[in-house]
A and B are shown apart, each in its own frame.
Chain A
Amino acid sequence: MRTLRLLGIGWLFHFKMIMRSAFDGVGQVIYPLFFATVAFFVFRAGDSPRTLLYASLGAAVMGMWSATSTTAGSAMQRERWQGTLEALVATPANFALILLPVTIAMATIGIYSLVATLLWGRLLFGIDLTVVHPLLFVLSIPATVLTFGALGFLFAVCFVRFRAAWALGNMFEYPVWLICGFLVPLTFFPAWVRPISWILAPTWGMNAIRESSLGGSPLPDLIMCFVLGSAYIALGFLVMERLLRAARERAALSLT
């Protein structure tokens, strides 16, 4: 109960902080629209409403991923600049439980990107959002948010020890768009890419959203989201103490 409360309060306050930055907020809404626009123009050539919806959903999840990958690193960097990282570590709470809601709050902001992109597609390009399995569609959005947050958490765990690692967050942004099939089906890629896609939760989150919207069976994808998300969190908890100890040994916590 205490753990859930700690996660909930952490999420609430970090979500509040992100929401209060007009610059961050506008960025999260505007930024994905550029990519969505490019995607719509490219896929419009196919002249198939189904393909356009496919692209629309892909562009929407791209925005969600961008909100998580780039900000997970910068969140830790922000804690360092603010001088709050040491204050957090000095508390008796398990640091992994402090960090997890931070990245989930970031991923939650991605829902704005999703809604904005879908509205953009509807208003400017006339793409209607048809949802075959409404309940599963609604379920697949928080599932994707949570798995993105879990993957962001795994990144952020590393950022605690390696302060320059925030740049890696940016580096992961575009490759994940590609190899998780946000815009192009995975079948277009060489076979060796697929196992990499399978261990990345965004692949299954994307599939769950598409299958529930366009028709298909999103349940296995949702299960994979759950399995991988849990694995990321477990791995993060496992390495957290070790990385935190290394940071204390190398005096890396106070560095900006």
Chain B
Amino acid sequence: MAVVEAHDLRRVYKTHTGTIRRRVKEIEAVRGVSFAIDKGELFGLLGPNGAGKTTTIKMLITLLIPTAGTANVLGFDVVKDPREVRKRIGYVFGGERGVYERLSGYDNLRYFAELYGVPPKVQKARIEELLELVGLKGREHERTEGYSRGMKQRLHVARGLLHDPEVVFLDEPTIGLDPVGARELRATIGTLTSAGKTILLTTHYMFEADALCDRIAVISQGEIVAEGTPAQLKSRVASGAVTEVEVFGIPDETVERLRSLEGVMSVWVEEREQAQVLSVQTRADVQLTAAILGHLNGSNVGRVSHREPTLEDAYVALVEGE
């Protein structure tokens, strides 16, 4: 049985341009998103910045009203019964904002425990348990202004779980965390799924979605472009191959020329310190290494390697295909 259901969700934002002659501009952030999440499932919403992930999650947690479409959580409509939805969900968002910096971590939790209607008799024990879970025990009485980004993030997680919600929405929870902090947080998310929580996770980290999610929907420009298990998504590009070339300064025109080569499925460039890594995903039946290197004439070329496609490649192919 589906715990979270979204049917053709749409959201339009209105912005204004101009100072004297003000014009209304409409931006369609989410364009007909539909999905269903089963009980106990960890569902990932994967997409680049501005794809509509946060807008979708905010509609589901009742912070935004959809322009069209419907959504319900545990059978409650997110527009008609917002309070019933809020009682049953936890919301964790990424970043350093969202905590009272002049209060201690403990007081932040105490205040929100009251707002979430946690019975006074169990508040203390529940807060202690959560502090233990997120690893903030011993630092809980310090003001949060002195907390690191990772600590604030873990406090967000604790806050989202105060009322022991059945469904947890995690909006890019590991964004900006160092690798150790992110790994610890992913481990915490893992414990939530084993406790039977239903989770909707938004992220743009492919490995995170791959490692945690039972199912993933890839969202691009406000639309879901693919949905399936990580293995199913990978299999969509499993027939291809990826050539990676380390380059030092590659012009945009070269990237565009590579994209137009026969047999090329997608091309992307990642910045790595002083160098860039050019990745070209090709069909399995073509051998394009020489042609690629030929187009890189004039750029300093480093290491060249070939590998099997990963979920990240599937994601890039899907997003670029849009």
Contacts and interface: CB of A to CB of B under 8 A. Distances in A.
A47 interface: no
Given A91-B86, A251-B64, A86 B98 contact: yes
B99 A92 contact: no
A90 B102 contact: no
B205 interface: no
Given A82-B100, A87-B112, A248 B62 contact: yes
B124 interface: no
Contacts of B101: 82
B63 A89 contact: yes
B114 interface: yes
B65 A13 contact: no
A117 B83 CA distance: 45
A219 interface: no
A86 B97 CA distance: 11
Given A5-B114, A16-B102, A249-B65, 16 more contacts: A9-B111, A16-B103, A17-B100, A20-B102, A20-B143, A82-B97, A82-B99, A82-B101, A83-B93, A87-B98, A90-B61, A91-B86, A91-B112, A92-B115, A93-B117, A248-B64
9 contacts: A6-B114, A17-B102, A82-B100, A82-B101, A84-B97, A89-B63, A90-B62, A91-B86, A251-B13
Contacts, number: 78
Between B62, B64, B91, the greatest number of chain A beta carbons within 10 A of the residue's beta carbon is seen for B64
Interface of A: 2, 5-6, 9-10, 13, 16-17, 20-21, 82-84, 86-93, 98, 245, 248-251, 253-254
A90 B63 CA distance: 7
Contacts of B97: 82-84
Interface residues on B, range: 20 to 34
Chain A binding surface SS class: helix
Contacts of B268: none
Interface in B174-221: none
Given A82-B100, A92-B83, A245 B65 contact: yes
